[in-house]
Amino acid sequence: MLSTQRSDDDDQYMLVACLDNVRNVSTILKAIHFKDTATVFASPMGLKITVEDAKCVQANAFIQEAIFHHYVIKEEQLAFKINLTVLLECLTIFGSSSMPSGNTSLKMCYAGYGCPLILMLEEEGVLTDCNIKTLEPDDVLDFDFCSSNVINKIIMKSECLKEVFSELDVTSDILQILMSPDHPYLQFSTFGNAGSTHSSFPKDSEMVESFQCSQTQTNRYKISLLKPSVKALALSTRISIRTDDRGFLSLQYMIQTEDGQICFVEYYCSPDEEVDHNEES
């Protein structure tokens, strides 16, 4: 029974991806795991996994084809929805902690529309077969965020932002992000029960690697929507913060895998109401 499963002909699958160290993929997926379901897009470039919440926030993880040591896809684009919680449990079934004992290798197969995603994991001669049902893919949000409309852009090391985000005042509904070519350059503010907080970064801070702000912009975002991005921030080494002319926020995280490869995770978030709205009071 085991041998027949192993010798299955790969020809029947539209997508076959193999990986020596499953944690390269599972850590990236954990960075966007704030909802149970995710939509997976597979293309010859690699995999894009999208998670959305409240039609206001979207997270994308890109796992490029180079992360896999074997990657074959027969179509230009494949899409399916999957339970991300289940997928992550399966990927980390031999334990998620980095044990010195050895790596878990993964073979992932998908036979096409309506078929389950098949995972075969192996560690120390022990095999695990997982058969995860796939769902009809939903349309994902298009934030229409193009680089030509970007007004302000800052690239910085993640380190200092980790503190800001982990200590966010959760009694505040919103996080206000100010980006400006003049003082205070970059400021994160919350307005909670106990008072307001402001964390500012000067543009010549060692942490800031690139500072391209053309006009002062103050936008508010729901903290509940941004809070999940802490997971990605915690794993990342660099972050790019961008806002466009409508106040939409794009956060891009550069994450280094255990094998030293670079992956990207991005979050898009739509702004809360206008700062100087009349009804607000």
- Residue closer to another protein by CB (options 92, 252) is 92
Give the integer Cα–Cα distance in Å for 266 and 145.
Answer: 12
- Find the shortest distance in angstroms from Cβ 93 to another protein: 5
Which residue lies nearer to another protein by CB, 113 or 206?
113
Q: Are 262 and 66 spatial neighbours (Cβ–Cβ below 8 Å)?
A: no
Contact 58, 267 (CB under 8 A): yes
Shortest Cβ 42–another protein spacing (Å): 19
Closest CB to another protein among 34 and 264? 34
Nearest one of 130, 113, 143 to 50, comparing CA atoms: 143
List the structure tokens of 261.
């490869």
Nearer to another protein, 131 or 196 (CB): 131
Give the residue with the Cβ less far from another protein, 3 or 147.
Answer: 3
Q: Please, which residue, 87 or 251, has the CB nearer to another protein?
A: 87
Residue 137: CB minimum distance to another protein, A? 16
Residue 73 Cβ, how far from another protein at the closest point, in Å?
A: 23
Spatial separation of the C-alpha atoms in residues 158 and 43, rounded to whole Å = 29
Do residues 38 and 126 make contact, with C-beta atoms less than 8 angstroms apart?
no
User: Nearest distance from residue 135's CB to another protein, in Å?
Assistant: 9
**Which of 34, 94 has the CB closer to another protein?**
94
Residues in the chain, how many? 281
Q: How far is the CB of 27 from another protein (least distance, A)?
A: 16
Footprint of another protein (CB under 8 A): 2, 83, 85-86, 89-90, 92-95, 116, 123-133
Contacts of residue 187, defined as CB under 8 A and 6 or more positions apart, other chains included, come to 176, 177, 178, 198, 199, 200, 201
What is the spatial distance between Cα 269 and Cα 3, in angstroms, rounded to a whole number?
47
- What minimum distance in Å lies between the beta carbon of 15 and another protein? 18
